[in-house]
Structure 1
Amino acid sequence: MSLREDAARVLKEWPAPSDDQERLRLAYLDHLAAHQDGMWKPCKDGHVTASALVVDPAGGRVLLTLHRKLEMWLQMGGHCEPGDATLADAALREAREESGIAQGLTLLPGGPVRLDRHHTPCAWHLDVQYAALAPEGAEAAISDESLDLRWFAYDDVASVADASVVRLVERTRALLQRSA
């Protein structure tokens, strides 16, 4: 199965938690149906990306990166690569690379947490957002893609990040509470 086929499968099976998320889910599927290259950066009409919010549930905090190019506090994430077997693999790879936590990160079960479509300097990103659980005692290390990397208490995220990151944190927290 190709990465594009996996992304389409994930999106078809994902139960959108709201009407706006359902509209995005359908738009992402339409994009993939219309663009054979819809997973890749060269697709100027937009491309599917994968991200993961790194969470320390025991500490009540999330790890955010100050993105070098965008100069914004964001979750870990970015473009899919040819070596990514699945969309979940792409999200986990990005989380490992950008957090410096090489071992022990696991994705929150149940697939994506939410979707977010946003414009970047290269094109529209159709981001599929996951949550990655950090192992106890995980130590983060800044990557070349970041200006800074910090843990933030859940309630402090709104003071540093935009609304899309706040919504991702809120949805992740709700899912964590359900699974507890």
Structure 2
Amino acid sequence: MSLLHQDAVRTLGGWTAPDPDQDLLRRDYLDHLRDRPDGVWRSCHPAHITASALVVDAEGRRVLLTLHPKVGRWLQLGGHCEPEDTDLAAAALREATEESGITGLELFPVAGTPAPVKLDRHAVRCAGRDQPENTHLDVQYLVTAPAGAVASISEESLDLRWFGFDELPERTDQSVRELTALARTLLG
């Protein structure tokens, strides 16, 4: 088993879910990892672990969302784990840095340590529109940007913008709305 797989089991095994639905997802993710040694890789079908991050500005008033080219909705930053990733938190931070162009992003500590804030399971066609759907078992983190951070659009995005917590665009996925509300609560 890879270091990333081991970290995913350790992270999810030690994570205290905020409610029964999230705990059920956590247990489903752990079952997936128990059954699939390749469960963290994009090549694992019909499901695999992904890592994402909601980027919040230094003032804690706005979130950075990407207009995803395949989904056509505004989403948090993140995606597939890579062979060089050794832990989920670092994978989420890497994805957020790559997709935002912002250096100096920091994982938001939950109970003093970087930890997931939410899990989300969703069907996607990550291999292309002509391929069968796949399920992402997304492990979501909260990331803070440094003061004055300027984002730049990557090749993985149609658009990239900052939005106030109460100003999310119409085409924002419901799970992102929930993640944003959770971030607002955690940031106080």
Instruction: Give the TM interval when normalised to the shorter protein.
Output: over 0.9
Instruction: Give the C-alpha shift of residue 69 in structure 1.
Output: 1.4
| Identity among equivalent pairs (%) | 58
Match of 1:166 in 2: 177
TM-score, L = length of structure 1: 0.95
Distance in 1 between the 2:87 and 2:149 partners?
Answer: 25
Distance in 2 between the 1:172 and 1:50 partners?
Answer: 16
Match of 2:130 in 1: none
Task: Tell me the matched-pair count.
Answer: 176
Does the CA contact (< 8 Å) of 2:101 and 2:151 recur in 1? yes
Distance in 1 between the 2:176 and 2:168 partners?
Answer: 8
What's the C-alpha RMSD, in Å, of the aligned pairs? 1.2
Match of 2:118 in 1: 114
Match of 1:15 in 2: 16
Instruction: Give the C-alpha shift of residue 45 in structure 1.
Output: 2.0
State how 1:147-166 maps to structure 2 within 5 Å.
147-157=158-168, 159-166=170-177
Unaligned runs of at least 5 residues, structure 2: 127-133
Match of 1:100 in 2: 101
Unaligned runs of at least 5 residues, structure 1: none
Does the CA contact (< 8 Å) of 2:105 and 2:146 recur in 1? yes
Aligned partner letter, 2:145: A
Which structure 1 residue ranges, 4+ long, deviate > 6 Å from structure 2?
A: none
Q: Which has the higher helix share?
A: 1
Aligned partner letter, 1:120: V
Distance in 1 between the 2:56 and 2:90 partners?
Answer: 17
Does the CA contact (< 8 Å) of 1:158 and 1:166 recur in 2? no
Indicate the SS of the match to 1:139. Answer: coil
Does the CA contact (< 8 Å) of 2:75 and 2:172 recur in 1? yes
